[in-house]
Every structure is written in structure tokens, then in C-alpha cells.
Amino acid sequence: MRGSILRRASAGEKLQLYSIWDMVFGSIGKDSFFDCFYSDDLCVLAEFEGVVAAVGYLVPTGEIVHGPISVPCAMIYSVATLPMYRGMGLGTAVVRELIRAARKLGFPAVVLCPMNDELFGFYSMRTDMRDFFYVGERTVKCTQASGDPAYLKEISANEYLRMRENLLDGSVHIKQDTGIFEYQSKLCNELGGGLFRFRNSCAVVELQTDGGVWIKELLASGSESDDIISAIAARFPAHEYTVRFPSNSNGGRRFGMLYLQDDIFGDPCKISPAPWYGMAFD
């Protein structure tokens, strides 16, 4: 790519990064993200003929857990290319450089949640990222809520993390840091919703601008899945609820990609039928 260079962000460029975020993603989540995660060394820029044309960020997320083995993990987040510079390979170059940066910073595992299904093939052909995470997703139409919201309690990021790890014990998943859920709480504060427990189950709930409700992560204990959805519906009346939950490649759809240095876990395809990514802030 003649005329382009890759580099880290430098002090004083935040206003420019804000502008790119607004243009590509809108303003939701921007202030919370920069407050929670941003640092210059975790941001890669692609300049084209002196203009910052593409950007992407690394977010330390915690660890990928596989039985007794766990490895530090970082997430590639908010890769954005300005419209007039798309199709030039700048976004791909940013992703590749973020993977290299993650390795240098001590993250042998890097994950990415593509914005749409077409990007899985795009990144597979152009980077070392591979399909790995799947998600079950269903839509629930609720015209009248019948659940009892009395057992639905909003909880802190720390409490949510403890419940989550208990429910995911024994599965391959990203054991996310408290900071991830603190950021999610801030997103929920902007949109409505929150982190909730229902008896022995937990869920992340976001209200949508179209009037729907997004249950971004539903981890249900035993047969509580329908009960917690019904309780959420009673608390947040809406025309439609989109629910995400752990699933395998047979019952779910592709959700996230993984770069894993040196095959630490062996063959990633044989690790688990249903590794769980969790929230991607998409």
C-alpha cells in the first residue's frame, strides 16, 4: 500500500480518534471505552498520505480457559476505516499489526468478533485469525409478560463475574476481567438495562433504540432459561427480545475468531464443541 504507514497513536490524537469513532460507529460507548481501555500503545493507526484513515484497538480481556490451562487474551475492537479509504487493505493491515502488538505485549491469544458474517471469510484469508466461537441466538416475541421480576436483581460487575465463572465452570471460555463488565455496565447506563441475576442464572440486558431488548449473554442454570427471560420481559416490556446463549457449531452461528500462538491448546478445532466468547460490545 504505497503512501500508507502503520504506527501507534500518540498523545494529543484523541480528538481525531473520537471523530473517526463518531463517523463509523456513532457516539454510543465512545466516552466509556476511552475512559476504561484506551492507551496509546494499545491503538494502531493506518495513515494514508498523511491522513489517519483506519484505526483499531486492543482490549485486554482476561484469559481463555481450557481445563487447567489458561492463557492471557486480548480482544481486537472497533476496527474502523473511513469510508473514502475502504477497499485499500488498511483495515486488514491494522488487524495484522494488532495481532503482532498483542504478541509483543504478552497475549498469546487474540480474539475478534467480526461485524458481519462476510468478514469471517475475509479475515480468514488475510490474517491468522480462525473461526472459533459460536453463539446460540433466538428471538422471543412478548406481547404480555407473565414472569415474576421479583427474583431479578441488578448486580455489580464483580458479582456478575463470580456467577458467570460458576456457570461456565468446565467449559472453554474467555474468563473476562472485571473491567469488561464495568464497561458493559456503562453501556447499559447509556442505553438502559444492566447486569442481572435471577436465582442461579445471570444475564446482560441492553435496551435497543428500535424498542427491542437485547439479552447479550444469558447463562441459565438448569431449567431457568425461560423463567429469566420472562422476568426480564416483565421488567423491560418490549415487542421483541433477542437472546444470546452458549451453543455449538451445529446449533449456533459463527460469532468470534481466534488467533492462538504456537497451538498452546493443541488443535483449536478439537478444543471444545462450544467455546464461549461472551460479550463483544457489538
The 10s digit of each residue's pLDDT in 104-129 is 999 999 999 998 899 999 999 999 99
Q: Please compute the mean of the pLDDT values over residues 24-51 and round it to a whole number.
A: 93
Same-domain pairing of 188 and 170: yes
Give the torsion sign (CA, 81, 179, 157, 243): positive
Give domain status of residue 164, yes or no: yes
Same-domain pairing of 88 and 190: no
Give domain status of residue 170, yes or no: yes
* Residues 237, 182 contacting (CB under 8 angstroms): no
Three cell numbers at 169?
Answer: 465452570
* Residues 77, 91 contacting (CB under 8 angstroms): no
Give domain status of residue 103, yes or no: yes
Top mean pLDDT of 23-27, 152-156, 170-174 is at: 152-156
Same-domain pairing of 32 and 126: yes
Same-domain pairing of 128 and 151: no
Give domain status of residue 273, yes or no: no
Same-domain pairing of 114 and 174: no
Judged by average pLDDT, the poorest of 44-48, 62-66, 216-220, 260-264 is: 260-264
Same-domain pairing of 241 and 141: yes
- DSSP code at position 248: -
Give domain status of residue 277, yes or no: no
Q: Can you tell me which residue has the cell 462476510?
A: 118
Same-domain pairing of 121 and 258: yes
Give domain status of residue 279, yes or no: no
Strand ranges, E, within the chain: 4-8, 43-48, 51-66, 69-81, 109-112, 130-141, 152-154, 173-176, 193-198, 201-207, 213-219, 240-246, 253-260
What pLDDT score was predicted for residue 134?
92
User: Is pLDDT of 178 > 80?
Assistant: yes
Same-domain pairing of 227 and 169: yes
Nearest to 176 by CA among 262, 29, 59, 43: 59
Same-domain pairing of 117 and 195: no
Same-domain pairing of 145 and 125: no
What is the pTM for the complete model shown? 0.91
Residue 42 lies in domain = 4-132+254-262
What pLDDT score was predicted for residue 235?
92
Question: Strands 240-246, 253-260: parallel, antiparallel or unpaired by DSSP?
Answer: unpaired
What pLDDT score was predicted for residue 142?
72
Q: Please compute the mean of the pLDDT values over residues 83-99 and round it to a whole number.
A: 95
Same-domain pairing of 128 and 142: no
Same-domain pairing of 117 and 145: no
Q: Please compute the mean of the pLDDT values over residues 259-265 and round it to a whole number.
A: 76
Mean pLDDT value across the chain: 90
User: Is pLDDT of 268 > 80?
Assistant: no
Look up the CATH number of the domain holding residue 51: 3.40.630.30
Q: How many domains does the chain have?
A: 2
